[in-house]
């Protein structure tokens, strides 16, 4: 890209050269404009994604309470269960496989033939029978229990090791990797660095394939746990739904077994004592020796650290809650986590159900104990390794965007790698445009293997090949023929439209708050505000950290003299066909705003995973959430809502129908 070496006279005398210069200048400008749009689009997707994760972790006290009262897992922690109980609970022998079943029939111990049959079956969109699923999972659980927290691999005996990042249910990407790179074997070892599930629609197939290969080649296939190998996260991000949808009868058994399996997944892999592979990253306090010693299976979910063994001093019936509160600990970096302010909850004025009463006890009696019930060191070590992200500046600060783990800087990389005598940290956890990215002076490498993660054409996936020289080589790909042939403009356009749709949905659900914010800048009620006020008001409501001025042409159809007619703009964002007809539309808006949280909560309450909850459960839940959100709600309004949602009028609410009711059917789009 250097300057042309031309004399001025030549420049002016040769029209072709002048023409070329002009065209080059024009085209470079065009490409740069596209690049800017692509980055904005990326920004939009990522900020909405991380805001969602943050939301869930912010509500962790609430979820913790729900967990305690609703999930079978909570009863498990109260009693000691021997492995044999689990084995009996998950017996599959009684499950008959009918003759009509055309999928693969497996025998155990698993063989290469067996797992190949499974891969082929999934390629042809077949489903593995529940009996074999349970059997496979049970064998996996038995194997994982004897593995150590950190897998140690050496490249001496084998040629090269393959390292894959997040797959997130994208089966086509895993198949593409196997196609390009070969199936796992003793000659072809693999490391899979977590986040196998959620978001994509073939999470279970990916798990079964990976577990299958793990069973056949336990010394050559290594799985690291990711932050999505967590049943509470799965409630929100689609894996729970996928399993229950595919296995209506045995789904919950499968999910319960997976809950155990996830907690038994190893936490890290080290190659030749030189390369550390973990899903999220590190923190200033990361200590591999400490990690090696933890009882990893006790950490079932990041959103619910294991409960300490003592009970509340006042003898309150509720068991001591595992608090997520954290004190400033150890190092001078002073990593502090703000204590959640629980005192501001507003409760229903009328009947106080027993559950609400217990919630009150929880708040009153556990807050003072927070200094005792601190998140243990082991929890911190594990959460840091699964949730952290790198940052450009030095230091180590809590990762408040995700809600868990930390942001760590280049100085921390140097210190931690140095302390452990390592030369490279390979991690995943963040989507990258080209499938991989170095940072921290090439000491940290992010690898991401789910292509088209946000949308068709949004990014490539990649995997690493590494030999005894420990130099990473990258292979990139993008699933689907169609994507590769798209021009830059088309793929940016496609992704952008999708991102803008997601963004307009966010704007819509915050309608009332936006209007209030705009009105603060419009004291004379002219209905118009300046562009810069529009941008700052929108950011103050949505808090996504997006470049609103840059996005403005895509979001606001017309401005006059630099002013935005905000009432008209808000009207233009409307849904055209709400499926739900109820009298109180403000509830509608609150529900839209919180529909992801709601879905998660519903799935928690639906303990038998039947797919529906009773009116009473629905009302209790809704009340609880409203009190937590500090929103007043009348009993009448809740009852009205419950009745409207009961589409088939059978006295119970089908979760999927409920979520369907709140799917935004159509938003009037701009251009």
Segment lying near other proteins (by CB under 8 A), choices 124-132, 271-279, 312-320, 539-547: 539-547
Q: Which residues are catalytic?
A: 228
Q: How far is the CB of 582 from other proteins (least distance, A)?
A: 30
Segment lying near other proteins (by CB under 8 A), choices 2-10, 138-146, 201-209, 462-470: 2-10
Q: Which is nearer to other proteins, 558 or 574 (CB)?
A: 558
Residue 376: alpha-carbon gap to chain centroid: 24
- Chain residues 553-592 in contact with other proteins, contact rule CB under 8 A: 553, 558-559
The runs of H, that is alpha helices, within 543-663 are 548-555, 566-572, 585-593, 595-605, 615-628, 635-645, 655-661
Q: Which is nearer to other proteins, 35 or 87 (CB)?
A: 35
Q: Contact 133/141 with Cβ under 8 angstroms?
A: no
Contact flags string 390-409 toward other proteins, x per CB under 8 A? -xxxx--x--xx-----x--
147, 550, 582, 659: residue in contact with other proteins (rule CB under 8 A) = 550
Q: Which is nearer to other proteins, 540 or 574 (CB)?
A: 540
Contact flags string 484-513 toward other proteins, x per CB under 8 A? ---xxx------------------------
Q: How far is the CB of 37 from other proteins (least distance, A)?
A: 8
Q: How far is the CB of 527 from other proteins (least distance, A)?
A: 19
Which residues, at least 6 apart from 540, have a Cβ–Cβ distance to it below 8 Å?
A: 517
Segment lying near other proteins (by CB under 8 A), choices 93-101, 111-119, 538-546, 639-647: 538-546
Extract long-range pairs of 604-607: CB within 8 Å, 24+ residues apart.
604/63, 604/66, 604/67, 604/70, 604/71, 604/235, 605/66, 605/70, 606/655, 607/70, 607/71, 607/72
Contact flags string 47-76 toward other proteins, x per CB under 8 A? x---x--x----------------------
Q: Which is nearer to other proteins, 321 or 396 (CB)?
A: 396
Q: Produce one character per residue of 269-290: b if its CB has 16 or more CB atoms within 10 Å, e if not.
A: bbbbeebbbbbbbbbbbbebee
Q: Produce one character per residue of 394-414: b if its CB has 16 or more CB atoms within 10 Å, e if not.
A: eebbbbebbbbbbbbbbebbe
531 is a contact residue toward other proteins (CB under 8 A): no
42, 90, 463, 548: residue in contact with other proteins (rule CB under 8 A) = 548
Q: Which is nearer to other proteins, 527 or 547 (CB)?
A: 547
User: Which tokens belong to 355?
Assistant: 């559950």
Contact flags string 6-45 toward other proteins, x per CB under 8 A? ---------xxxxxxxxxxxxxxxxxxx-xx---------
159, 549, 571, 663: residue in contact with other proteins (rule CB under 8 A) = 549
User: Which tokens belong to 34?
Assistant: 């596209």
- Chain residues 251-290 in contact with other proteins, contact rule CB under 8 A: none
> Any idea what DSSP says for residue 51?
H
Question: What gap in Å lies between CA 230 and CA 517, rounded to an integer?
Answer: 38
Consecutive H or E run containing 277: strand 275-277
Q: How far is the CB of 528 from other proteins (least distance, A)?
A: 16
Question: What gap in Å lies between CA 364 and CA 63, rounded to an integer?
Answer: 17
Q: What is the 3-state secondary structure (H, E, C) of 489-532?
A: HHHHHHHHHHHHHHHHHHHHHCHHHHHHHHHHCCCCCCCEEEHH
Q: How far is the CB of 548 from other proteins (least distance, A)?
A: 7
Q: Which is nearer to other proteins, 10 or 328 (CB)?
A: 10
Number of residues that bind other proteins (CB under 8 A): 55
Q: Which is nearer to other proteins, 23 or 360 (CB)?
A: 23
Question: What gap in Å lies between CA 550 and CA 546, rounded to an integer?
Answer: 9
539, 589, 640, 654: residue in contact with other proteins (rule CB under 8 A) = 539
Question: What gap in Å lies between CA 42 and CA 48, rounded to an integer?
Answer: 10
Consecutive H or E run containing 606: none
Q: Which is nearer to other proteins, 394 or 574 (CB)?
A: 394
Q: How far is the CB of 330 from other proteins (least distance, A)?
A: 22
Q: How far is the CB of 392 from other proteins (least distance, A)?
A: 6
Q: Which is nearer to other proteins, 323 or 538 (CB)?
A: 538
Question: What gap in Å lies between CA 169 and CA 199, rounded to an integer?
Answer: 6
Q: Which is nearer to other proteins, 20 or 292 (CB)?
A: 20
Question: What gap in Å lies between CA 56 and CA 233, rounded to an integer?
Answer: 8
> Any idea what DSSP says for residue 633?
-
103, 493, 527, 547: residue in contact with other proteins (rule CB under 8 A) = 547
- Chain residues 423-452 in contact with other proteins, contact rule CB under 8 A: none
Q: Contact 667/501 with Cβ under 8 angstroms?
A: yes
Q: How far is the CB of 560 from other proteins (least distance, A)?
A: 9
- For the CA atoms of 171, 173, 179, 181, the dihedral, rounded to the nearest 10 degrees, stands at -120
Q: Produce one character per residue of 99-114: b if its CB has 16 or more CB atoms within 10 Å, e if not.
A: eeeebbebeeebeeeb
> Any idea what DSSP says for residue 179?
H
Segment lying near other proteins (by CB under 8 A), choices 170-178, 387-395, 451-459, 597-605: 387-395
Segment lying near other proteins (by CB under 8 A), choices 92-100, 120-128, 233-241, 544-552: 544-552
Interacting residues with other proteins (CB under 8 A): 1-4, 15-33, 35-36, 47, 51, 54, 391-394, 397, 400-401, 407, 410, 487-489, 532, 535-536, 539-540, 543-545, 547-550, 553, 558-559
């Amino acid at each position: 890209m250097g300057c042309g070496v031309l004399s001025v006279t030549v420049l002016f005398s040769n029209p072709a050269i002048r023409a070329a210069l002009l065209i080059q200048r024009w085209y470079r400008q065009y490409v740069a404009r596209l690049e800017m749009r692509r980055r904005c689009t990326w920004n939009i997707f990522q900020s909405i994604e991380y805001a969602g994760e943050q939301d869930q972790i912010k509500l962790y006290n609430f979820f913790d309470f729900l967990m305690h009262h609703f999930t079978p897992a909570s009863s498990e922690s109260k009693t000691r269960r021997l492995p044999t109980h689990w084995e009996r609970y998950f017996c599959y022998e009684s499950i008959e496989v009918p003759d009509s079943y055309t999928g693969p029939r497996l025998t155990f111990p698993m063989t290469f033939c067996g797992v190949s049959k499974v891969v082929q079956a999934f390629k042809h969109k077949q489903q593995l029978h529940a009996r074999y699923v349970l059997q496979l999972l049970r064998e996996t659980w038995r194997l994982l229990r004897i593995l150590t927290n950190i897998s140690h691999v050496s490249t001496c005996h084998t040629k090269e090791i393959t390292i894959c990042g997040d797959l997130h249910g994208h089966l086509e990407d895993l198949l593409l990797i196997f196609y390009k790179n070969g199936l796992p074997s003793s000659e072809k070892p693999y490391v899979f660095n977590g986040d196998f599930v959620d978001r994509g629609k073939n999470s279970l197939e990916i798990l079964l394939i990976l577990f299958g290969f793990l069973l056949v080649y336990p010394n050559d296939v290594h799985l690291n746990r990711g932050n999505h190998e967590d049943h509470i996260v799965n409630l929100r991000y689609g894996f729970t739904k996928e399993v229950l949808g595919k296995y209506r009868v045995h789904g919950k058994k499968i999910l319960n077994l997976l809950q155990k399996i996830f907690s038994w997944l190893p936490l890290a892999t080290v190659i030749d004592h030189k390369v550390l592979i973990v899903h999220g990253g590190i923190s200033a306090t990361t200590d591999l020796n400490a990690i090696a010693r933890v009882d990893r299976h006790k950490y079932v979910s990041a959103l619910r650290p294991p409960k300490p063994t003592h009970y509340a001093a006042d003898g309150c019936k509720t068991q001591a809650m595992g608090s997520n509160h954290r004190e400033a600990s150890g190092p001078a970096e002073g990593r502090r986590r703000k204590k959640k302010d629980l005192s501001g909850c507003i409760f229903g004025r009328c009947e106080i159900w027993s559950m609400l009463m217990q919630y009150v006890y929880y708040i009153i009696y556990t807050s003072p104990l927070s200094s005792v019930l601190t998140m243990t060191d082991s929890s911190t070590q594990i959460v840091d390794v699964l949730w952290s992200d790198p940052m450009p500046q030095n230091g180590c600060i809590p990762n408040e965007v995700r809600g868990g783990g930390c942001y760590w800087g280049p100085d921390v990389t140097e210190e931690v790698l140095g302390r452990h005598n390592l030369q490279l940290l390979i991690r995943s956890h963040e989507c990258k445009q080209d499938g991989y990215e170095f940072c921290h002076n090439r000491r940290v490498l992010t690898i991401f293997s789910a292509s088209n993660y946000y949308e068709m054409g949004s990014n490539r996936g990649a995997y690493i090949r590494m030999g005894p020289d420990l130099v990473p080589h990258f292979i990139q790909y993008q699933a689907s023929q169609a994507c590769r042939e798209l021009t830059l403009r088309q793929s940016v356009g496609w992704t952008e439209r999708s991102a803008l749709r997601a963004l307009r949905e966010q704007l819509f659900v915050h309608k009332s708050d936006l209007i209030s914010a705009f009105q603060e800048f419009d004291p004379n009620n002219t209905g118009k505000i300046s562009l810069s006020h529009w941008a700052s008001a929108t950011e103050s409501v949505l808090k996504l950290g997006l470049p609103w001025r840059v996005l403005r042409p895509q979001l606001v159809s017309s401005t006059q003299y630099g002013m935005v007619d905000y009432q008209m703009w808000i009207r233009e964002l409307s849904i055209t066909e709400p499926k739900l007809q109820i009298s109180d539309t403000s509830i509608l808006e609150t529900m839209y705003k919180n529909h992801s949280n709601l879905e998660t909560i519903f799935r928690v309450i639906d303990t038998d995973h039947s797919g529906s909850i009773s009116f009473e459960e629905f009302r209790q839940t809704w009340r609880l959430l409203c009190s937590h959100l500090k929103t007043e709600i009348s009993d009448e309004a809740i009852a009205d809502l419950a009745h409207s949602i009961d589409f088939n009028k059978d006295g119970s609410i089908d979760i999927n129908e409920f979520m369907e009711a709140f799917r935004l059917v159509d938003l009037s789009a701009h251009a």
